[in-house]
Amino acid sequence: MPDSSLTPKNYLGVPVERPKVAFFELSSCEGCQLQILNNESSLLAFLDLIEIVRFREAMSGGGDDYEIALVEGSVTRPDEVERLKLIRAQARLLVALGSCACFGGVNQLKNRFPLDWVKREVYGEHPIETAPARPLADFVAVDLKIYGCPIKKEEVERIVTDLVIGKEIVYPDYPVCMECKANGNLCLFELGEPCLGPVTRAGCDAWCPNSRAGCWGCRGPATEANLAQMLAIMDERGFSRETVIDRLECFGGFASQVAALRAAGGHR
């Protein structure tokens, strides 16, 4: 009998080829990859669309015959630069998976401090080679970004499905606030909680505000984000400018906005 794993699958009755996909991790917690495995209810249907040839979180071994590479994590060491370039050379399509890969993520917070001090405070008498944390796009061409910390598993499934069937990838051009209001949530500003929902790219279904936690901007800025208006709201609610900057700075997606605020004397 023919190997069913090599048989073209159907999407809405139309045969589609299963692209070979590999998952990789650089400096990260690997939480984004774990998110994909956590979606048990639709995992098998998702896997039916692709052929995974490397995925350390889910399988042993693995091959290098892949077309699509999904890379999690930021770049923090010279060997990671070389590894990333090798992945890029093999992949037809390279996807930055999660905030670390897209912006540097939480890892880039160390960039605010002298590197020698970081090595000493974190590693003590057993230092390791490390460099400022940087996103994938600083070193190689990135074809597609999937935002979030961690990524939203439903969004990954939608994007990968669109890739497989050749559909245009569309990101929301509105902020998280729109999703939050659509979900019927009470605005967190009314509860005394700072929130970057007014300026952060939507697509997570207001994941944090749904749980009464203010948005930290892990998905980066929304299209035409009105930062000035959000700062006015924060000022009106009594949040210091440094509180706002700390939140904007957390994942690296608002780096240019933070630089502008600091240049303008952002401490208030």
Q: Taking the CB of residue 201, how many other CB atoms lie within 10 A of it?
A: 22
Burial class (CB within 10 angstroms; exposed 0-12, middle 13-18, buried 19+) of 97: buried
**Domains of the chain, each with CATH number or no CATH:** 4-165 (3.40.50.700), 176-263 (no CATH)
Please report which confidence band the pLDDT of residue 78 belongs to, taking 50, 70 and 90 as the band edges: very high
Burial class (CB within 10 angstroms; exposed 0-12, middle 13-18, buried 19+) of 81: middle
Tell whether the model's pLDDT for residue 3 goes beyond 50: no
Chain center to CA of 30: 11
How far apart CA 94 and CA 70 sit, in angstroms, is 6
Nearest to 81 by CA among 89, 148, 23, 127: 89
Q: Comparing 265 with 176, which gets the higher pLDDT?
A: 176
pLDDT in tens, 200-245: 999 999 999 999 999 999 999 999 899 999 999 999 999 999 999 9
pLDDT in tens, 9-30: 555 565 668 899 999 999 999 9
pLDDT in the model for residue 62: 86
Please tell me the pTM assigned to this model: 0.89
